[in-house]
Structure 1
Amino acid sequence: MPHVVLDKKINLGIFAEKFVSIIEKKSSLVKLTDVFVGKNKALVSALVIDELHQEFLIEISTHDDSTTIRLLSLADPQKKTDGVKTALGLVAANAMSMFPDVSTLRTNIQDFIPVVGRN
């Protein structure tokens, strides 16, 4: 299962407040549009069109000293294509650009996380 673990707990309220929709069109179309925030979790709505048309949710869950970004199991995409992994990588890169002291602790999609400037 594709995932990214960040080395610190991020503030989900700030993440949702600063989040702007992302549309990336390369080998696939990736759209990240809305963020829904709970106490310790947030959901990002995603659409990927590549070999399939897939709509799914990306879950961001915070723990005492880390943050995990993964596919929500209840709305898991049919196939974990490169476009799906790119969507996860874009959410991780977005979080790391908002929170400059946060970095990747572990992941199995390193090649799909773009290098971005820090705010």
Structure 2
Amino acid sequence: MPHVVFDKSINLDILASDFEPIFVREPYIIKIQDIFVSKSKKSALVPTVIVDKKNQNFLIEIFAKDNKTTVRLFPWTDPEKTDGVKMALGYLSAIIQRKFDIACVSRTNILEFIPAI
């Protein structure tokens, strides 16, 4: 499953409060409008729409533990793992890395899909 792990726990409230929607047209259509933070402030769901080979709607989960943050596909929404899906995860990860510059990617299997910041 595509994922990105950061070496620090991030504050999801801060991420949500300044969140700017993502809309990409090339090479795939990627639309990320909102972020919903849980009551515990330890996880967030990000509704995502992509159009590449087909139109897919799914959720990206951001989970902040004590010393790491994981960005992954929410297991209940299981989209086809196309390049567009991986690119959506990459764009969201780049936003996290730009916003929380002390957090570095420690593990990922989609490095080529994370745009340079």
Q: TM-score, normalised by structure 1?
A: 0.94
- CA offsets 1:66-96 (integer angstroms, 9 cap, x no match): 000000011121x110000000001110001
* Structure 2 portions without partners, runs of 5+: none
Matched residue type, 2:5: V
Query: Moved runs in structure 1, 4+ residues, more than 2 A?
Result: none
Aligned partner of 1:29 in structure 2 is 29
- Pick from 59, 62, 68: which aligns with 2:61? 59
Specify the code of the residue in structure 1 equivalent to 2:88: A
Percentage of identical aligned residues: 46
Q: Deviations over 1:25-78 (max 9, x none)?
A: 11210011110001210011100001010000000001110000000011121x
How far 1:100 moved relative to its partner?
1.1
TM-superposed deviation, 1:9: 0.1
User: TM-score, normalization: structure 2?
Assistant: 0.96
Task: Supply the distance in 2 between the matched residues of 1:76 and 1:57 (Cα, whole angstroms).
Answer: 9
Q: Partners in 1 of 2:78 and 2:59 — Cα distance?
A: 7
- Return 5+ residue gaps in structure 1 as ranges: none
After superposition, the CA RMSD in angstroms is 0.6
What is the aligned counterpart of 1:70 among 63, 67, 72?
Answer: 72
